[in-house]
């Protein structure tokens, strides 16, 4: 039986928990907040409170298997929503993301001391150091999911990018990680018996840094269940381009903007994402020229995907990129790089294009081609929907459970 833990429980974590439960392998699921299904009382609160509540409900799991460790996370959310302490959460030691992850990890570790049924713990980057340490003492196997590439590879790319585009360097916040945080990551990897990644790229980053003495399994994530049934729409005038993600150079934001600028009035760009700094003048100036939404509810993001012609995701460093599978599910072709889960999901020229990192000309050529050939664009949109149906939960679950059973037997 498996202890599964993650502080916040995103879509991919939920699908893993669901798969483990359906295979009768889930002993306990731990998160900061595991809330019961919302009732009429929740409905009297505002929309934002309801959305935050429902984001922490795990409908696919029995309540008896869910364990919450809520206090710091409640304080973080309260401060974020109500601005009780006029400061950035990440700079307030008790409720920073790092402190919440460490505290959560310690609480899961304490739970492991008294569990004699667990055969493995399945945990994630930044939230596994102490629980893995306790698991080793208890003879429990450690399964580690690395959702993004290895940090040393990231540092190499970010340092290169800082030299190439110094005006965008302030958005590369990964360069600010403390030595303590980086050492923690390495300790987690050292204690892991098996590592699960979602892309070939993530596995390659481990090999580049001589982290090849582990069993590494590639299991791509699945597409969301809400695959569109609508007929794809094609813009008659300018090609409608969408960017969804944090507004950082890690995601290749400057390359997206430069490619769009090359094509002028032949294209339009909509940006959905939050800034992680106000100090990047180039970004600030660009956002004044394009349609920009700092944040939208998930259903509105999917709606925007249906209203656009291409998703532009020229990331420099990603473990997968959930936005890729979301775009496929809404019939939106994707232009992305090999430094993501793109090669696992997209067939080049069929559902989109895989381009080299930092290649503005390659991006603009792909966009120009689709702008001029709307029949090809329509076929790509249909291909995306078909591809999304094939990259489904059942496929993901089968692959995951096969690997997990091999690990624990």
Tens of pLDDT along 328-362? Answer: 999 999 999 999 999 999 999 999 999 999 999 99
Together in a domain, 378 and 260: yes
Same domain? For 115 and 212 the reply is yes
CA of 380: how far to CAs of 43, 271, 356, 359, 388, in Å? 41, 22, 20, 22, 12
Mean pLDDT of all residues belonging to the chain = 90
Taking only the tens place, the pLDDT of each residue in 161-195 is 999 999 999 999 888 889 999 999 999 999 999 99
In a domain, 298, yes or no: yes
Alpha-carbon distances, residue 31 vs 22, 69, 197, 266, 360 (angstroms): 19, 6, 20, 46, 41
Interatomic CA distance for residues 66 and 347, integer angstroms:
38
Per-residue confidence at 230, pLDDT binned at 50, 70, 90? confident
Q: Do 211 and 275 fall into the same domain?
A: no
Q: Is residue 234 assigned to a domain?
A: no
Flag whether 202 is in a domain: yes
Mean pLDDT of 118-124: 96
Residue 233 located in a structural domain: no
174 and 296, same domain (yes or no): no
Summarize the confidence of residues 276-280 as an average pLDDT: 90
Q: Are residues 92 and 196 in the same domain?
A: yes
**Does residue 319 form part of some domain?**
yes
69 and 191 in a single domain? The answer is yes
At 82, is the pLDDT very low, low, confident or very high (cuts 50, 70, 90)? Answer: low
Return the pLDDT at 389.
94
What confidence tier does 133 reach under pLDDT thresholds 50, 70, 90?
very high
Same domain, 257 and 286: yes
Which residue range forms the structural domain that includes residue 284?
239-390
Return the CATH number at 123.
3.40.50.2000
**Residue 281 scores a pLDDT above 80:** yes
Q: Which DSSP symbol is given to 234?
A: -
Which of these, 34, 46, 41, lies nearest to 6 by C-alpha position?
34
The answer to whether residue 228 sits within a structural domain is: no
Q: Which residues share a beta bridge with 125?
A: none
Query: Beta strand 120-124 with 2-5: parallel, antiparallel or unpaired?
Result: parallel
User: In the structure, what pLDDT confidence band is assigned to residue 89 with cuts at 50, 70 and 90?
Assistant: very low
| CB neighbour list of residue 133: distance below 8 Å, 6 or more residues apart | 109, 191
Cβ atoms of residues 155 and 67 within 8 Å: no
Average the pLDDT over each of 77-81, 95-99, 277-281, 315-319 and give the range with the smallest value.
77-81
pLDDT of residue 39: 58
Indicate whether 70 and 185 sit together in one domain.
yes
Whether 188 and 259 share a structural domain:
no
Q: Are residues 31 and 151 in the same domain?
A: yes
In what side-by-side order are the strands of the sheet with 194-197? 66-68, 26-31, 2-5, 120-124, 141-145, 194-197, 215-218
Query: If we measure between CA atoms, which residue out of 11, 8, 80 comes closest to residue 224?
Result: 11
Q: Which residue has the higher pLDDT, 77 or 368?
A: 368
pLDDT: which is higher, 228 or 320: 320
Same domain, 300 and 400: no
User: Looking at residue 231, what is its pLDDT?
Assistant: 81
pTM over 0.85: yes
Give the model's pLDDT for residue 162.
Answer: 96
Q: Is residue 350 part of a domain?
A: yes
Alpha helices per DSSP H over 235-359 = 253-263, 281-289, 298-307, 322-329, 342-345
Residue 16 lies in a domain: yes
Question: Considering the chain, what percentage of its residues have pLDDT values greater than 90?
Answer: 74
The tens digit of pLDDT for each residue in 1-58 reads 999 999 988 899 999 999 999 999 999 999 998 877 765 555 655 666 666 667 778 8
Domain tally for the chain?
2
Q: Are residues 78 and 148 in the same domain?
A: yes
Provide the pLDDT for residue 109. Answer: 95
């Amino acid at each position: 039986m498996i202890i599964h833990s993650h502080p916040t429980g995103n879509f991919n974590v939920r699908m893993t928990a669901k798969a483990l439960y359906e295979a009768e392998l889930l002993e306990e699921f731990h998160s900061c907040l595991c809330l019961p299904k919302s009732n009429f009382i929740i409905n009297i609160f505002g929309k934002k409170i309801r959305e935050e509540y429902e984001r922490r409900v795990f409908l696919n799991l029995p309540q008896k298997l869910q364990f919450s460790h809520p206090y710091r996370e409640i304080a973080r959310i309260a401060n974020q929503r109500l601005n009780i302490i006029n400061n950035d959460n990440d700079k307030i030691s008790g409720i920073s993301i790092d402190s919440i992850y460490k505290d959560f990890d310690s609480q899961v570790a304490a739970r492991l001391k008294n569990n004699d049924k667990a055969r493995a713990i399945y945990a994630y980057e930044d939230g596994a150091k102490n629980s893995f340490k306790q698991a080793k003492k208890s003879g429990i196997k450690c399964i580690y999911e690395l959702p993004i590439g290895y940090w040393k590879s990231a540092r190499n790319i970010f340092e290169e990018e800082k030299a190439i585009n110094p005006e965008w360097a302030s958005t590369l916040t990964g360069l600010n990680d403390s030595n303590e945080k980086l050492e923690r990551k390495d300790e987690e990897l050292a204690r892991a018996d098996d590592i699960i990644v979602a892309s070939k790229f993530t596995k390659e980053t481990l090999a580049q840094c001589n982290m090849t003495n582990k069993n590494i399994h590639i299991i791509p994530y699945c597409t969301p269940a809400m695959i569109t049934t609508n007929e794809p729409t094609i813009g008659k005038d300018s090609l409608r381009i969408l960017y969804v993600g944090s507004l950082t150079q890690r995601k290749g934001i400057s390359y997206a903007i430069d490619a769009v600028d090359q094509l002028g009035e032949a294209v339009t760009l909509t940006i959905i994402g939050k800034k992680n700094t106000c100090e990047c003048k180039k970004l600030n100036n660009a956002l004044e020229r394009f349609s920009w939404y700092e944040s939208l509810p998930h259903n509105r993001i999917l709606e925007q995907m249906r209203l656009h012609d291409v998703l532009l995701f020229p990331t420099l460093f990603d473990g997968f990129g959930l936005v890729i599978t979301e775009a496929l599910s809404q019939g939106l072709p994707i232009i992305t790089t090999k430094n993501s889960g793109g090669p696992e999901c997209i067939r080049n020229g069929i559902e989109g294009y895989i381009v080299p990192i930092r290649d503005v000309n390659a991006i603009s050529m792909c966009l120009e081609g689709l702008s001029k050939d709307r029949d090809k664009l329509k076929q790509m949109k249909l291909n995306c929907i078909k591809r999304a149906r094939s990259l489904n939960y059942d496929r993901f679950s089968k692959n995951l459970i096969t690997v997990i059973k091999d690990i624990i037997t």
